[in-house]
Chain A
Amino acid sequence: MSQVEGEDPPLVELRGIVKRFPGLVANDHVDMRIRSGEVHALLGENGAGKTTLMRVLAGLYRPEGGQILMGGRAVAFRSPRQAIENGIGMVHQHFKLVGSMTVAENVLLGWSEPRVWLAKRAGVRQVEDIARRYRLPVHPDARIWQLSVGEQQRVEILKAIYRRARVLILDEPTAVLTPQEAEDLFGTIRSMAEEGAAVVFITHKLHEVVAVADRITVLRSGRVAGTTVPSETNARELARMMVGREVVLESSARVTSPGEPVLRLEGISARNDRGLPGLIDVSLATRAGQILGIAGVAGNGQRELAEVITGLRRTTAGRIVLDGRDMTNRSARAMIEAGVAHVPEDRLGSGLVPGMSMAENAVLKAYRRPPVARGPFIDLGEARKVAARMLDTFGIRALSPDAPVRLLSGGNLQRLLLAREMAERPSLIVAVHPTRGLDIGATEAVRRALLDQQEAGAAILLISEDLDEVLALADPIGVLFEGRLVAEVPRAECEVEDLGLLMAGGSGGEDRQ
């Protein structure tokens, strides 16, 4: 679908790139042309293969098929260094900087190493020049650990420019930035393009694409879904290209009559791990027998919301009321004992203990109570029985209750976690991305478990990035964006694309252009 307009060969041309990982094709014959002086947005869902494609270009992956052409000449990068030498610079989502060294040292590091002392003084001057020219305000002698995330990103960009990058690849650059910092970044991107460089901008935020890109390539499931220019499209159409189909709404949500409110948040605010406002004035209510869906792109306050409710994060304002009792800033243990179950987003990071056995994981919350607890002692035989019952009822295929949990597949991990949380007979379930990364069978099992709990009268807060899932299970549905609950509507009134726009920071019901 690449366009045939310029006569000159493009700065970079990717032809039929194929990259496989065990069990999936991340890039399936991808073509892409990157021209001098353009800002090229690479748009796609999570897992569409955007990052993989750019890592191939940056020499980090070797493609199984296809060609990279630079100025019409075929090149093959055997290492990231070769890619850098050919003018490819990539700013990864996770920065590759040495925290204890200065900005200038990081820029010079690994590039102009011989004669460090001589090069350093000249290097500092060069860094200052580049910083001024591209409006990247950062002090060359500051140490990386002293810098904010936005400043660290500037250092990464400086590094790429210093290494004479003609193609600058930015992987989700705005994910970590404040809106103001993002504006500044767009300014820098524009001035680089004006000087003839090409900027590839990986994103999934539509308004950014429309705001800054000259050309847009949309990837879907490892293939190019289309290439277009902003003047010929709009956010709604781009959304459709990314999703690739009309969303199938298998309505498994059951009709129930919601009961009393179980959980009420009143104007809750909380900070995120970086100390910035992560939740801002969020109010919501979940009733017994109701699934309240919270849609939103990860990093917009989902984790903070779940942690506030489960006692893992302190609030800075507002009130949490559970079953009529004020539970603001109570401990995690108090929340567990009050009947709050938690399916966390990182099942192996906090929901389960990979190095311990299934039996020991099965009683992570029940170990304080009989029959597992016997006075100060713990009855591991009883824990084994508990685990065996869970394996049985949830159809978990596992060697034995004594096998360490890390040997389980993702689907079985989540089944075990759910089985444990359900065994507590919770009145409220906070489920965060409960089916992320699971295959169809496991997804079905997880969804069925949630629906069964709903039927049994539990209130469920379903926090998910998966719009399909939210639409299939939840009613009503809210959207979190940048820490705020920007909408809460009954499912019957939900338009997929409106929700999508809200998740990407647009306002519902209008096309942004």
Chain B
Amino acid sequence: MSVRRIGPLVVERRTLTSGRTLVLLRMGAIVLALVVGAVVFVATGLPVAGSYRAMWSGAFGSLDAFAETLVASTPLILTGLAVALAGRMLLWNIGAEGQLYMGATFATAVALWYPDVPRPLLLLAMIAAGAVGGALWALGPGLLRAKLAVNEIITTLMLNYVAILFVGYLVHGRWRDPASLGFPLSKPFSQNATLPTIHLPGIGGTRLHAGFLIAVAAALLLWFVLRGTRWGYEVRLIGESPAAARYAGMPVARNIVLVMLAAGALAGVAGMGEVSGIVHRIQPDISANYGYTGIIVATLGRFSPIGVLIAALLFGALQVGGFSLQTLGVPASIVGVLQGVILFITLAAEFLARYRVRWAPGTPIEAIELEREPDEGLAQPAPMRAAGLALGEGKSGGDAP
């Protein structure tokens, strides 16, 4: 329904959002988030300006800090893309977390079994393995959705637990490093199996690794695929209007499977990046809920690859800035509250960009609905109401409830 009542308020879909409204809403959101954040700081007895300054410098204050922000955003870009691509076809991929773990597992298998293959070859093989692992993990939900209309939200979500527990099984068992003193860790990767770090001018060692470049490249590639290929056109069109896609003879079911495979591959590469670029081994906590945060990143980025890129950077900065607040003695939970507030307000602004909320107590909702969309017959100018009888006010038979 395009109209809904909440108490005395009526929420209706906007037909068109002007650019000015969008800019105002987003700026308003930032200001409001800062104000609410200030209230949180004051309530907990922290200096407002100082805290914000600490967050800012933690995320952007130096090249080193900025590198950390990019490191944190790397997996979020890829999982965000994994959710956004599926979302373009109205599929909810809640399984990026599990796909990330399976990608990490497959990449680790290659790293552990062939530690001495030359580095470029080994890394390419690990990327491919990560993509395959993630894709396989999304294949089942894709097939079930395409062939049997099984809800992909449930299947992808459930498979997350399977994947995470499977990694646990491996590192507690056959992949456990004998030298780990009983900790559930795999053996460290060989040098050849680790992604090189990117050397920024001026400072030597940051943790920024080549995975970031892979993630950015993936976003750009996906952007091009959606805009510039026939397949991307089909995907966008199916998402906009499944009925029109069928009308145009597009293979909807096949594209559901393909999109899920591609989404899984993206999340799988995120897993490869984490094990090969950051931890250099596999262990149960390789992901800080990156797969789930990817859902928020995708939503915030409005399901566009470039939007995801920006949203992931914002999230990375929030995370890293939050850490530096913690080093000032701010409890981690306050940092979490702050992140939640910012997120919530930004999402509210995006909602308001698409819907108008107005005060209309007492007006029956049906009346508003009907006024918005008068009957098809009514919209018809009189001369076109044909002669003859019975010009079918019954809308064609199959109006399922």
Contact = CB atoms under 8 A, between A and B. Distances in A.
B230 A440 contact: no
Given A332-B247, A364-B248, A353 B237 contact: yes
B391 A350 contact: no
B397 A331 contact: no
B233 A360 contact: yes
B59 to A, nearest CB: 35
Contacts of A204: 389-393
Contact of A439 (B233, B381, B387): B381
A95 B382 CA distance: 28
A231 B378 CA distance: 31
Interface residues of B, number: 55
A336 B391 contact: no
Nearest to A364: B248
Contact of A297 (B236, B237, B383, B394): B394
A481 to B, nearest CB: 11
A373 interface: yes
B375 A353 contact: no
Nearest to A432: B396
A172 B378 CA distance: 16
A352 interface: yes
A469 B386 contact: yes
A367 interface: yes
Interface in A178-206: 204-206
Interface stretch (B173-181, B214-222, B322-330, B363-371): B363-371
A315 to B, nearest CB: 16
A60 interface: yes
Given A80-B366, A273-B397, A376-B230, A245 B247 contact: no
Interface in A463-481: 465-469
Interface residues of A, number: 102
B390 A500 contact: yes
A204 B395 CA distance: 13
B20 interface: no
Interface of A: 21, 23-24, 26, 45-52, 55, 59-61, 78-80, 93-95, 97, 99, 145, 152, 172, 175-176, 204-206, 221, 239, 242-243, 245, 247-248, 272-274, 278, 295, 297-299, 302-303, 310-312, 331-337, 342, 344-346, 349-356, 360, 364-365, 367-368, 373, 376-378, 380, 406-407, 410, 435-440, 443, 465-469, 496, 499-501, 503-504
A465 B386 contact: yes
B300 to A, nearest CB: 20
Contacts of B395: 93, 298-299
Contacts of A365: 248-249
B385 A24 contact: no
B227 A380 contact: yes
A380 B393 contact: no
A59 B389 CA distance: 29
A360 to B, nearest CB: 7
B375 A239 contact: no
Given A24-B378, A24-B381, 14 more contacts: A21-B374, A47-B380, A52-B375, A52-B378, A176-B394, A176-B399, A274-B397, A297-B394, A299-B392, A312-B247, A335-B249, A349-B243, A356-B236, A367-B233
B388 A466 contact: yes
B367 to A, nearest CB: 5
A172 to B, nearest CB: 5
B288 interface: no
B389 A239 contact: yes
A503 B248 CA distance: 31
B377 interface: yes
B230 A368 contact: yes
Nearest to A249: B387
> Which of A46, A80, A152 has its CB near the most chain B CB atoms (within 10 A)?
A46
Interface in B217-254: 227-233, 236-237, 240-241, 243-244, 246-251
B386 A466 contact: yes
B385 A60 contact: no
Contacts of A435: 384
A137 to B, nearest CB: 20
B397 A299 contact: yes
A367 B238 CA distance: 14
A353 B380 contact: no
A465 B386 CA distance: 8
B240 A356 contact: yes
A206 B237 contact: no
Nearest to B236: A356
B244 A351 contact: yes
B370 A46 contact: no
A46 B377 contact: yes
Contact of A467 (B16, B388, B399): B388
B241 A354 contact: yes
Given A60-B366, A303-B396, A356-B240, A351 B385 contact: no
B148 interface: no
Given A350-B246, A352-B244, A298 B394 contact: yes
Nearest to A304: B397
Contacts of B392: 46, 204, 297-299, 465
A297 B391 contact: yes
Contacts of A93: 393-395
6 contacts: A45-B389, A46-B377, A93-B393, A351-B247, A377-B228, A501-B389
A21 B378 contact: yes
B400 interface: yes
Given A353-B244, A365-B248, A47 B366 contact: no
B335 to A, nearest CB: 38
Nearest to A81: B364
A505 B390 CA distance: 11
Contacts of A346: 243
* Residue from B370, B376, B378 having most chain A Cβ neighbours under 10 A: B378
